[in-house]
Chains A and B, each alone.
Chain A
Amino acid sequence: MSRVRADEEEYWHSSKFRAFTFDDEDDELSQLKESKQAVNSLRDIVDDDDDDLERVSWSGEPVGSISWSIKETASSSTSSLEGRDSSLQKGSSSYAAFPKQVSSYSLSSLFKGRNKLPSFQSLSDALSDTGVKNYAPELRRPKAEYKDYSNDWSPKDTVRRMQRGKVCSLERFRSLQDKLVLLDEAVAGHDGNVITAVLIFLKRTLRREILFRELEVRQVALCHLIHFLKETGEQKLLLDLLRFLDRTEEVALSQYREHLNIQDVEKRKEFLKGCVGLPFSAEDTSHIQDHYTLLERQIIIETNDRHLEKSGQSEIFRKYPRKASILNMPLVTTLFYSCFYHYTEAEGTFSSPTNLKKTFKIPDKQYVLTALAARAKLRAWDDVDALFTTKNWLGYTKKKAPIGFHRVVEILQRNNAPVQVLQEYVRLVEDVETRLSLATKYKCHDVVIETYKDLKDRIQLTAYKCKVERGSAEEEKINSILNNMQIRWKN
């Protein structure tokens, strides 16, 4: 199972092969910038009659397109299309690829007398090399006009006729055997539309237990009936069918799915409570239980917080008004919310982060990530600090994290943490290269300087001097290190 290879580590550091990445494309990005400048510099010459150009070449959604027009109807549903005539004409040039429509001819006449094709340019073009031919069987009269109530079609012929969209009466298939032959023919014909049509007939004319029994040995037809029942929303029959088939897990899921249609939270909560007893696997039962518990908590939190927010007594809500309600949000979002608004609460309250962590057995990693994001967003750097500080048995403090410190840095950076804070965590990134690249990227000069010092890399350190400000403390530091005779430089 373990396919780790010895040379693979080496590869990532030493190989000549480099997968294309988006990160280190300095060259190309600057190329891109150059191109952009070049193109922008031309803008003055070009921009004068933009609009004209748009009509010629940008026919994505020109004035006069259907999508455009529907949006218009939506906004002013009373105006008819009449008034748009002029703008439509302008737009029409983008469709120049098609022959201009001659409004006076009637297509119906064309289709009634197929051989008379006087002024119909586009079609005659198309047909020029093939002669007048039945090139598109679909373009005949609408199929609805074919009616055929003849009674002597065999099951096979019936199916074939239905595949071609013709109306066929199924009423004469009365014996169970006839019905089943018909169904088997439909399945053999591969047309799901016809299979469903036959099933609708069977469903109407057979007792359900008999239908179910026969479908059990006809899996393709069974899939069609299940899908049909799902689409038409015949939930009760669907559940009966699934129970008959002993597909208990599907019974449970199918019922659980219904909660999505319940808008009222109290009702939804009650419904979910009922779902806990459904025949799910043990694992899923606990997920359903969690879903119910979560919504229950959310309702409590929501009621309290809405009240708190309204009363205006709580500073945090005044400072950061809630953007949305917490109802029906995922657990992690709820945890974030509680780390944001209720961080210091005692474990006893439903809204406290620790309570959530315990109730839902949230793993450390997940908890730390979420708490970090929430506290960093509030710029509560002390909390961030406390999150990673552990004391060992001698009483020394140490920084530890269940996630990589590079991830911590990333999250802090995204929340605009000041360099002093950032620096502290960049320093803790274990991998030297990652540390260097992060430190350089976020201008944590001290970390860069110290790392080069540890690496005894005089060349890089000297080169870094130009990245720090002239006469700054950093420059001084570099100089003093470079002048330090004690260090045995590797280069």
Chain B
Amino acid sequence: MAAGGRRDAPEAPDFGLLKRLARDQLIYLLEQLPGKKDLFIEADLMSPLDRIANVSILKQHEVDKLYKVETRPAPSSSDQFCFLVRPRIRTMRYIADIVNADKMSGRSRKYKIIFSPQKFYACEMVLEEEGVFGDVTCDEWSFYLLPLDEDIISMELPEFFRDYFLEGDHRWINSIARALQLLNSLYGPFGRVYGIGRCAKMSYELWQDLEGESEGDGQGRKPEIGNVFLMDRDTDYVTALCSQVVYEGLVDDTFRIKCGSVDFGPDVTSSDKSIKVLLNAQDKVFSQIRNEHFSSVFGFLSQKSRNLQAQYDRRRGMDIKQMKNFVSQELKGLKQEHRLLSLHIGACESIMKKKTKQDFQEMIKAEHSLLEGFDIRESTSFIEEHIDRQVSPIESLRLMCLLSITENGLIPKDYRSLKTQYLQSYGPEHLLTFHNLKRMGLLTEQVAGETLTAVESRVSKLVTDRAAGETQAGSVLCPKHCTPVQIPRLDGEYDLKLPRDMAYVFSGAYVPLSCKIIEQVLERRGWQGLEEVVRLLNGHEFSVSDSTAEDSADAQRVVLAVFLGGCTFSEIAALRFLGKERGCRFIFLTTAITNSARVMEAMTEARA
């Protein structure tokens, strides 16, 4: 790739400031309710809160007992209740019930609701309807941005995906705009903004509107982030639905990384307890393997453990003084490394065990065939058997969606038969799930009478079109399809240990479309020449440059990639790779970290 002009990527800005801001505002809000108080925290907010504060900080501000919202509180003697919640109707009713129960029993207390990241009018309406408006005071904790790592900021709003893409509700756009405003004021001004997707466009417009009145902010400051790229998740569902094979993605798919940390169970720790581990750049072992294709991880780990052994072995020939030095200076570091190594080795083993058990190989093969548009019949019957064996409802759904997107809908006969078998295997109430997926365009039926060539559209074309090499869209976005994975490349195998492009995150089979678009637009500094692609992606593209913003050379090479509706670790790895190749630094802002299972679960109608 661009190895010739390689420069070192600039450092990521310091996002620790965001944590401090959030924590300080929370403290301020707690102090607004002086005196001892019980704090009720929404389950979804607990992990994010843990990342910026701890119990002793809360305690210093006179928080007495802590409760989880949704559990009935034990009779409490506290005179003040504080609720730290997401703005949800159901939570409002929970609070109203508590207040009303107190009123009935003649108990008087002070109540304060702190909404994070913002309050919704509908919530106030519920409080009013329940007759507790005025009994409670409301505040907002503008905790929009949680830095999960040096280069990842999450809004921790997984519900954005369903709210916006399924229900068509724009309620979070304000939060996104405010998040952009905050980042712009701290690390901007952003010189260039690119985007694609309806939500991206709206968020941009609302942000600009908000910017309009905070005049003079950030003038003359040296920007740290020069470019912003906003992208809607529905621009590229395929990437989000693929099985992940880079280490961090696999860990997420297998163990679920939550708010930057993961619970490694007994099978990983080879003891009887689980360990919660923070996974980020501070972890010296993890940071070196997170972006690697899984097949290169073993080699690295064994190299690392040999080195470690050698380091320990040195102590054999030591005299007392050297030994003393060794113990006081090196031992601690070595121990930590040892600990990290054994955890990641354990994790690898556990992943291997799971992946070999559930015929992962066959699944990957089916998945790659789908991406290539080959063997459709064979893949369809693979999916069918997967369903019949009741393997995993989420996996089955995911494969059906991939089939539908890449084939531009299922042929009616297949759609009916797969749907029927799915309902028989996993429960009839999934009728509702199918309806959701249809509305999202994730799982559809080909319209009778139209042939594939007549409909040829969107992603299916971008992802699988065999003749793509000849079209403009193909040549730009899908170089893979000129040399499809099935046909050995001229120079033989794709060396996953020495990747040459972003396709390595999917074993060389497919370049994530989302990342490819970002690459192309950044390279061209706009959408010129991508008109065909834009048309296939339903438009809503934009590119704005602010001539007044100073162009610092470093900031020019820092790109804030904003994923509206979630971003996967595979995409993060791919863009990190691109950044290294091009000497630029990607910062990720996402409504939440996602993966195929989360996307599917968001569409699933749960049994009550």
A107/B171 contact (C-beta < 8 A), A35-B301, A61-B50 known: no
Given A39-B305, A165-B118, A70 and B46 contact (CB-CB distance below 8 Å): yes
Chain A, range 414-437, C-beta contacts under 8 Å to B: none
The answer to whether A197 and B121 touch across the interface, beta carbons within 8 angstroms, is yes
Tell me if A97 and B429 are in contact (CB < 8 A). Answer: no
A300 cross-chain contacts in B, Cβ below 8 A? none
The answer to whether the Cβ of B335 comes within 8 Å of any Cβ in the partner chain is yes
- Chain A residues with CB under 8 Å of B424's CB are 330-332, 360, 362, 366
Check if A4 is an interface residue, CB within 8 A of chain B: yes
Taking A42-B338, A332-B424 as contacts, is the C-beta distance between A7 and B487 under 8 angstroms?
Answer: yes
Please give, as numbers and ranges, the residues of chain A lying within 8 Å of B308 by CB-CB distance: 38-39, 42
**Closest chain A residue to B486, Cβ basis:** A11
Do A193 and B118 form a contact, CB below 8 Å, given A61-B50, A95-B54, A332-B424?
A: yes
Stretch at the interface among A223-231, A311-319, A383-391, A461-469: A223-231
- Contact of A101 with B57 at beta-carbon distance under 8 Å, contacts A20-B293, A60-B261, A366-B421 already known: yes
Query: Does B16 sit at the interface, judged by CB under 8 A?
Result: yes
What residue of chain B has the Cβ atom nearest to residue A284's Cβ? B431
Min distance, Cβ A411 to any Cβ of chain B, angstroms: 8
Q: B172 contacts A189, CB within 8 Å?
A: no
| A119 at the B interface (CB under 8 A) | no
CB-based contact B425/A330 at 8 Å: yes
Binds B, one of A26-34, A337-345, A346-354: A26-34
B171 contacts A70, C-beta separation under 8 Å: no
Question: Contact partner of A200 among B24, B122, B185, B203, CB < 8 A?
Answer: B122
Q: Tell me, yes or no, whether B428 is within 8 Å of chain A by CB.
A: yes
A193 CA / B338 CA spacing, docked (Å): 50
User: Is A304 located at the chain interface by the 8 A CB criterion?
Assistant: no
Judge whether B68 and A70 touch: CB under 8 Å: yes
B-chain residues with CB within 8 Å of residue A144 when the two chains form the complex? 137-139
Interface of chain B residues 476 through 494 with chain A (CB within 8 A): 485-489, 492-494
Beta-carbon contact of B335 and A91 below 8 Å: no
**Chain A residue contacts of B202, Cβ below 8 A:** 190
Q: Are A135 and B345 in contact (CB under 8 A)?
A: no
Interface segment, one of B385-393, B538-546, B564-572: B385-393
**Of B172, B206, B275, B486, which is in contact with the most chain A CB atoms at under 10 Å from its CB?**
B486
A490 at the B interface (CB under 8 A)? no
Given contacts A22-B356, A35-B341, whether A191 and B173 have CB atoms under 8 Å apart is: yes
| A68 to B29 CA separation, bound complex (whole angstroms) | 23
Query: Does A451 sit at the interface, judged by CB under 8 A?
Result: no
* A369→B388 contact, CB < 8 A: yes
Q: Does A322 contact B (CB under 8 A)?
A: no
Hey, which chain B residues are within 8 Å of A284, CB to CB?
431
Q: Least Cβ distance of A417 to chain B in Å?
A: 17
**A15 x B261 contact (CB < 8 A):** no
List the B side residues contacting A31 at CB < 8 Å. 298-299, 301-302
Is A25 a contact of B24 with CB atoms below 8 Å? no
Bound-state CA distance A139–B508 (Å) is: 47
From B185, B295, B364, give the contact of A28 (CB < 8 A). B295
Smallest beta-carbon distance B508→chain A, Å: 8
**Are B168 and A200 interface neighbours, CB within 8 A?**
no
Residue total for A at the interface (Cβ-Cβ under 8 A): 136
State whether A253 and B431 are in contact (beta carbons under 8 Å apart), knowing that A16-B492, A137-B181, A232-B89 are contacts in the complex.
yes
Task: List, in ascending order, chain B residues with CB within 8 A of A41's CB.
Answer: 309
A31-B302, A81-B65, A160-B209 known; A20-B294 Cβ under 8 A? yes
Is B375 touching A53 in the complex (CB atoms < 8 A)?
no
- Whether B60 is near chain A, meaning CB under 8 Å from some CB there, is yes
Residue A484, interface by CB 8 Å: no
Q: With A36-B349, A144-B137 as given contacts, are A20 and B295 in contact (CB-CB < 8 Å)?
A: yes
CA A135 – CA B68 in complex, angstroms?
Answer: 33
Structural contact, A73 and B345, CB atoms closer than 8 A: no
Partner of A106, one of B31, B210, B294: B31
Indicate if the CB atoms of A253 and B432 lie closer than 8 Å: yes
A194 at interface, CB cutoff 8 A = yes
B19 at the interface (CB under 8 A from A): yes
Q: Which of B71, B73, B171, B348 contacts A192 (CB 8 A)?
A: B171
Q: Contact mask A454-478 → B, CB, 8 Å, 1/0?
A: 0000000000000000000000000
User: Is the Cβ of B167 less than 8 Å from the Cβ of A227?
Assistant: yes
Binds B, one of A171-179, A206-214, A287-295: A287-295
Question: Given that A17-B494, A223-B168 are known contacts, is A69 also in contact with B55, CB under 8 Å in the complex?
Answer: yes
Q: Is B322 an interface residue (CB 8 A)?
A: no
Within residues 524 to 580 of chain B, which ones have a CB less than 8 A from any CB in chain A? none
Q: Which residues of A contact B167 (CB under 8 A)?
A: 223, 226-227, 230
Q: Are B278 and A60 in contact (CB under 8 A)?
A: yes
User: For the complex, what is the distance from the CA of A168 to the CA of B298, rounded to whole Å?
Assistant: 61
B221 CB → nearest A CB, Å: 6
CB distance from B215 to the nearest CB of A (A): 11
Nearest residue (CB) in A for B59 is A81
Q: Are A227 and B168 in contact (CB under 8 A)?
A: yes
Is B471 in contact with chain A by the CB < 8 A criterion?
Answer: no
The answer, yes or no, to whether B96 is at the interface (CB within 8 Å) is: no
Interchain CB contact (< 8 A) of B28 among A43, A67, A111, A362: A111
B28 near A333 with CB under 8 A, answer no
A42 to B73, CA, bound (A): 48
B233 CB within 8 Å of chain A: no
| A487 and B242 alpha carbons, distance in the complex (Å) | 49
List the B side residues contacting A245 at CB < 8 Å: none
**Stretch of A122-130, A235-243, A442-450 lying at the B interface:** A122-130
Q: Does B276 contact A (CB under 8 A)?
A: yes
- CA–CA, A260 to B606, complex, Å? 8
Judged by a CB distance under 8 angstroms, whether B131 is at the interface is: no
Closest to B114 in A: A142
> Which of the residues B278, B301, B492 comes within 8 Å of A17, measured between beta carbons?
B492
In the complex, the answer to whether B17 meets A126 with C-beta atoms within 8 Å is yes
Contact with B along A186-207 (1 / 0, CB 8 A): 0001111111110010000000
Does A19 lie within 8 Å of B170, measured CB to CB?
A: no
Q: Do A46 and B338 touch (CB < 8 A)? A: yes
6 A-B pairs (CB sep. < 8 Å): A19-B485, A22-B361, A46-B338, A67-B50, A257-B605, A330-B427
List 4 other contacts, CB 8 Å, given A36-B346, A231-B90.
A53-B335, A88-B56, A232-B122, A260-B605
Which 8 A-B pairs rank lowest in CB-CB distance, beginning with the nearest? A192-B170, A60-B276, A223-B168, A192-B171, A197-B121, A138-B142, A291-B428, A77-B74
